[in-house]
């Protein structure tokens, strides 16, 4: 059996190592800390949580809860260690971050076939998992550029919010491209003058995320947040992303005063991107402010906008669904650098990359969960044909629709979870064949 190399000891790298070790593989992990620190890390521990200590909801009627149930079936080290060191957090899974990281490291070091090398590493060979995280070192970034091409590696994350189609008030929206071009590619959300002015006023006064010093210059030099654009004048958005030029509201047969355009984000026509709305507002403020637009008054956000330092690859152009490179199928990416967003999503990517690099080391074909699972739906999303790709977390809207029409929202979401877990159990029976 081949020796597997993992670059990076975060959540994804640690999960991948565990999955390989328990299958009897020899694993060499390279972690550059403490010799080379990132601006966000404070310790040299494996699986250090650098932001929140929360792994989000455990409720069965949430995408995060559904993902945790799938990862439990897959014997995730990250999940079971988090549950062991949980601290009170309402309906969320939050942890004592020090105890959590200490136990992850202790668990891995207990394996005889695990070697941890504390040094920066930038050699990308066959049977390697790159799980270097959103703050990948310059040396490794340069090697990734050589491997992929510079145009496939990004250094900041400037994403607009995404809402679910079913939550859009279609009575206050209309389909159509500018000047009738493009068919029904866009869903337009018109506003009159009073609605627009109220939106802009709330937008510029909304509470924002305070960027760290190492994020600020790179992010804002690359992309202007919509709230910063709005500060330039009341009409700045009307001459920018909210321009109504070329649009006609069928209700009035007139050009709207302003219009936000929504663009399809997925193959099931269930996710819509708020075009031109990259934002650094806090999540609760995004919900409040964008809901002032009549068509979005009841909007359900599948992803909030983010702006922060984040190294990630253009996964739809470079990765297979199993997280391997299309051009080098024994080289895998995992964690946030692969295009997933969130702690448990990073854990999932490391787990799936490990399963498949293990299979390839034995001469077997890759295997991925189907699109009815939370894992499989996200794997297909990040490797699919997504325009203007930005990192994504799990969402029920990535799943195929249910066969039955369940009107109650909580029951409908629970049904998605139950179906996902059922399909995951079926997948697990195929893993070791």
| pLDDT confidence band for 421 (50 / 70 / 90) | very high
pLDDT in tens, 167-212: 999 999 999 888 877 667 789 999 999 999 999 999 999 999 987 7
Which residue spans within 140-200 are E strands per DSSP? 153-159, 162-164, 174-175, 186-191
The rounded distance, in Å, linking the Cα atoms of 279 and 286 is 8
User: Residue 4 pairs with which residues in a beta bridge?
Assistant: 27
Residue 98, phi then psi, degrees to nearest 5: -70, -45
pLDDT at 266: 67
CATH number of 4-158+308-398: 3.50.50.60
Q: Are strands 331-333 and 128-130 parallel, antiparallel or unpaired?
A: parallel
> Residue range 115-120: average pLDDT?
98
pLDDT at 145: 92
Distinct helix (H) and strand (E) counts, the chain: 13, 16
The rounded distance, in Å, linking the Cα atoms of 41 and 255 is 51
What crossing angle do the helices spanning 409-431 and 63-73 adopt, rounded to 10°? 20
With beta carbons less than 8 A apart as the criterion, state whether 369 and 321 touch. no
Q: For residue 206, give the DSSP letter.
A: S
The alpha carbon of 203 is separated from its chain's Cα centroid by a whole number of angstroms, namely 25
Residue 12, phi then psi, degrees to nearest 5: -65, -45
pLDDT at 385: 66
pLDDT in tens, 47-58: 999 878 899 999
pLDDT in tens, 337-359: 999 999 999 999 999 999 999 99
| pLDDT confidence band for 288 (50 / 70 / 90) | very high
pLDDT at 89: 82
Does the CA dihedral 62-63-68-73 come out positive or negative? positive
pLDDT at 35: 94
Tokens of 6: 């993992």
The rounded distance, in Å, linking the Cα atoms of 400 and 100 is 35
Q: Check whether 380 has a pLDDT greater than 90.
A: yes
**Residue matched to tokens 């005889």:** 112
pLDDT at 143: 95
Helical ranges in 176-332 per DSSP H: 193-205, 213-222, 226-230, 283-290, 315-318
Tokens of 95: 């942890």
- Cis? peptide before 422, omega within 30° of 0: no
Segment holding 232, helix H or strand E:
none
Domain with CATH 3.50.50.60 in the chain: 4-158+308-398
pLDDT at 375: 98
pLDDT in tens, 139-167: 999 999 999 987 888 877 778 999 999 99
The rounded distance, in Å, linking the Cα atoms of 239 and 161 is 20
pLDDT in tens, 224-278: 899 999 999 999 999 999 999 999 999 999 999 999 999 887 666 789 999 999 9
With beta carbons less than 8 A apart as the criterion, state whether 114 and 21 touch. yes
With beta carbons less than 8 A apart as the criterion, state whether 351 and 343 touch. no
pLDDT in tens, 46-104: 999 987 889 999 999 999 999 999 999 999 999 999 999 998 888 899 999 999 999 99
With beta carbons less than 8 A apart as the criterion, state whether 345 and 67 touch. yes
pLDDT at 34: 95
Does the CA dihedral 317-320-325-329 come out positive or negative? negative
pLDDT in tens, 10-37: 999 999 999 999 999 999 999 999 999 9
pLDDT at 335: 97
Tokens of 308: 């922060």
| pLDDT confidence band for 221 (50 / 70 / 90) | low
188, 154, 158, 389: which is closest to 278 by C-alpha? 158
Segment holding 272, helix H or strand E:
strand 271-274
Kindly report the three-state secondary structure assignment for every residue of 300-337: CEEECCEEEEEEEECHHHHECCCCEECCCCCEEECCHH
The rounded distance, in Å, linking the Cα atoms of 363 and 218 is 43
| pLDDT confidence band for 42 (50 / 70 / 90) | confident
pLDDT at 369: 98
User: Residue 95 pairs with which residues in a beta bridge?
Assistant: 86
């Amino acid at each position: 059996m081949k020796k597997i190399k993992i670059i990076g000891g975060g959540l994804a790298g640690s999960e991948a190592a565990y999955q390989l070790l328990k299958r009897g593989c020899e694993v060499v992990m390279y972690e550059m800390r403490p010799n080379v620190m990132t601006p966000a890390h404070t310790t040299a521990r494996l699986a250090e949580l650098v932001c929140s200590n929360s792994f989000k909801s455990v409720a069965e009627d949430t995408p995060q809860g559904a993902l945790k149930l799938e990862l439990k079936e897959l014997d995730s080290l990250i999940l079971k260690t988090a549950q062991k060191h949980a601290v009170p957090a309402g309906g969320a899974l939050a942890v004592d971050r020090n105890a959590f990281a200490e136990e992850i490291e202790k668990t891995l070091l207990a394996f005889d076939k695990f070697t941890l090398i504390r040094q920066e590493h930038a050699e990308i060979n066959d049977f390697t998992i790159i799980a270097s995280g959103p703050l990948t070192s310059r040396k490794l970034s340069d090697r990734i550029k050589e491997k992929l091409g510079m145009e496939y590696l990004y250094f900041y994350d400037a994403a607009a919010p995404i809402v679910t189609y079913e939550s859009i008030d279609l009575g206050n929206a209309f389909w159509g491209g500018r000047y009738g071009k493009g068919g029904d590619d866009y869903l337009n959300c018109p506003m009159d003058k009073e609605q627009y002015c109220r939106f802009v006023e709330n937008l510029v006064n909304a509470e924002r995320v305070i960027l760290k010093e190492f994020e600020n210059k790179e992010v804002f030099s690359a992309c202007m947040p919509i709230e910063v654009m709005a500060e330039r004048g009341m009409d700045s958005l009307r001459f920018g992303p909210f321009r109504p030029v070329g649009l006609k509201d069928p209700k009035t047969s007139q050009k709207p005063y302003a219009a936000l355009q929504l663009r399809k984000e997925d193959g099931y026509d269930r996710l819509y991107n708020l075009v031109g709305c990259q934002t650094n507002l806090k999540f609760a403020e995004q919900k409040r402010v964008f809901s002032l637009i009549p068509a979005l008054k009841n909007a359900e956000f599948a992803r909030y906008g983010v702006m922060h330092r984040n190294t990630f690859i253009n996964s739809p152009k470079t990765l297979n669904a199993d997280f391997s490179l299309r051009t080098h199928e024994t080289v895998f990416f995992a964690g946030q650098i692969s295009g997933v967003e969130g702690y448990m999503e990073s854990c999932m990517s490391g787990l799936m990359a490990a399963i498949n690099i293990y299979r390839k080391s034995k001469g077997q074909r890759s295997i991925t969960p189907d699109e009815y699972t939370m894992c499989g739906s996200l794997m297909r999303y990040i490797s699919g044909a997504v325009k203007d790709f930005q990192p994504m977390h799990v969402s029920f809207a990535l799943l195929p629709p249910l066969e039955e029409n369940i009107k109650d929202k909580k029951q409908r979401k629970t049904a998605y979870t139950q179906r996902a877990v059922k399909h995951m159990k079926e997948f697990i029976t195929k893993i070791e064949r």
